[in-house]
Structure 1
Amino acid sequence: MRIDRERPAPGPLVRGFGPGGYRVDAPDGTMGVYPALLLTATRADTWSPPALEALDEAALAPLLAGPIEFLLLGTGDTLRRAPKALVAALDARGMGIEAMDSRAAARAWGVLRAEERQIAAALYPLDF
């Protein structure tokens, strides 16, 4: 699937996704493909995610350093709940978490970044 927006958001944008992963345009104009992905307003990084049940702050450390309203959590090919301990830990930091399937999270990323929302995203592989 290809994702296009009329008004590009600042920072890395997910331009599409498929069996190989997420196609991301970086702010420097390069494009990369990532099987699993961590996104901030300024960077996209490949990610080796733990099992969803084991997801914790340490696995998301690169995302938690900046001012973030909430985390988009793409849970793979279907919606799964975020671990309760992670939700509580992020809440203690004043951060929310929104879990959805990874395709929906990839689409939501562009919409929310176009609004210049201060968010981060952790996207599990599409076949997870």
Structure 2
Amino acid sequence: MSLDITPLVSDDRLMISSYGDGRFTVNDRKVEGSILLYENKVTPWPVTESKEITLDSLQPLLDVADKYDILVVGCGKMSHMPPKGLREAIKEKGLVLEWMNSGAAARTFTVLQTEDRRTLAAIIAV
């Protein structure tokens, strides 16, 4: 006897199945460049370096923050501390900031989606 342990994920959830070479595959769709993931959509994000991550660059996500609990940010190939004051400003919007390298962010976002967590993401393409 075998059991299927694949989690059931609703079709409206965004799932990142691959990343690298400057692109992502989200729900079987190839997307070039950095991305924002929110409200069941993927939009281009004109950020290419972590120093460009600001409240202004994250504004589309912050505009819908009241519908979410977690903001996953992928800051590029290597992880480092977020810019001073960013974590506190995001917390004031009611979000927990999860700041990590882009590979970890893609994986974390997808796991949180399978857990049906209310999650936003901003991920720099690597």
* Cα shift at 1:74: 0.5
Matches of 2:8 and 2:39, distance apart in 1? 16
Cα drift, residue 65 of structure 1: 2.3
CA contact (8 A) 1:50 1:59 kept: no
**Alpha-carbon distance between aligned partners in 2 of 1:81 and 1:39, rounded to the nearest angstrom:** 22
In 2, distance between residues paired with 1:37 and 1:70? 16
Q: Which runs of 5+ in 1 are unaligned?
A: none
- The aligned counterpart of 1:109 is 109
Question: What is the identity, as a one-letter code, of the residue corresponding to 2:63?
Answer: A
Deviation of the 1:77 alpha carbon: 0.8
Q: Aligned partners of 2:52 and 2:30: how far apart in 1? A: 27
Q: Who is 2:3 aligned against?
A: none
1:42 aligns with 2:43: no
How far the C-alpha of 1:34 sits from its partner, in A, is 2.6
Identity %: 27
RMSD value, Cα: 1.9
Deviates more, 1:96-105 or 1:51-60: 51-60
| Partner Cα distance (2:89, 2:44) in 1 | 23
Q: Residue 19 of structure 1 corresponds to which residue in structure 2?
A: 21
In the alignment, which residue of structure 2 is the partner of 1:85?
85
Residue 52 of structure 1: how far off its partner (Å): 2.2
Deviations for 1:7-63, whole angstroms, at most 9, x for unmatched residues? 3354221111121311111xxxx6132321111141111110164234222111111
Q: Which residue of 2 aligns with 1:122?
A: 122
* TM value normalised by structure 1: 0.81
The answer to whether the Cα contact below 8 Å between 2:23 and 2:30 also exists between their aligned partners in 1 is no
Hey, which bits of structure 1, 4+ residues long, moved more than 4 A? none
Q: Describe the SS at the equivalent of 1:84.
A: coil
| 1:91 Cα offset (Å) | 1.4
Which residue in the other structure is 1:56 paired with?
Answer: 54
* Alpha-carbon shift at residue 85 of structure 1 (Å): 1.9
